[in-house]
Amino acid sequence: MAISGGKDDGEPMMEMNTTPLIDVMLVLLIMFIITIPVATHAVNIDLPSPQATPPDVQVKRDKNKVTILPSGEVQWNGVTVNNGQLVTALKATLSIKPEPELQYQPDAQAPYDMSAKVLNIIKGSGVTAFGFVGNEQYSEFGKAPNAGKASL
């Protein structure tokens, strides 16, 4: 059986066979899509919807502060606590009327994993008066906290 590869005059075919090239490119594309890591670290927080008119009377609330140190230690109002003690403290605040405001302030060098775990604990506790504190120091990207301040 004779197979014709071009003209019948016996000259070699001058066009490039692109079928293998396309097959290799499709395999590479599929491999790159598969190897892209999927972002699985998400903490969904339900933010309150803005009110058209602010309330007339501001309720005076007590404040509790959760901080995370660069070493990964979690502190409740300046006292180091573990996850169980944090859950207990959060549940205790729910019984106080009006509910105390919970201020969350992780250090810039705090481990992200610990910050995500603490946010999940706070979300699971049912606390409704919650706020992030200290974000203004990171208002400019790439600017180190306390940059430009003289030390005494």
Amino acid of residue 42: A
Q: Most confidently modeled of 29-43, 48-62, 106-120? A: 106-120
Report yes or no: 109 and 138 within 8 Å, Cβ to Cβ: no
Bridge-based pairing state of the strands 130-132 and 101-106: parallel
Domain residue ranges in the chain = 63-133
pTM of the model: 0.56
Q: Is the pLDDT of residue 18 over 50?
A: yes
Q: How far apart are CA 122 and CA 117, in angstroms?
A: 9
CATH architecture for residues 63-133 = 2-Layer Sandwich (3.30)
Chain position carrying tokens 């599929």: 30
At residue 108 the predicted structure's pLDDT band, cuts being 50, 70 and 90, is confident
Return the structure tokens found at 91.
Answer: 């549940």
- What pLDDT digit, counting tens, does each position of 110-145 carry? 898 999 999 999 988 888 888 888 877 767 766 555
Virtual torsion, Cα 148, 108, 105, 146, nearest 10 deg? -10
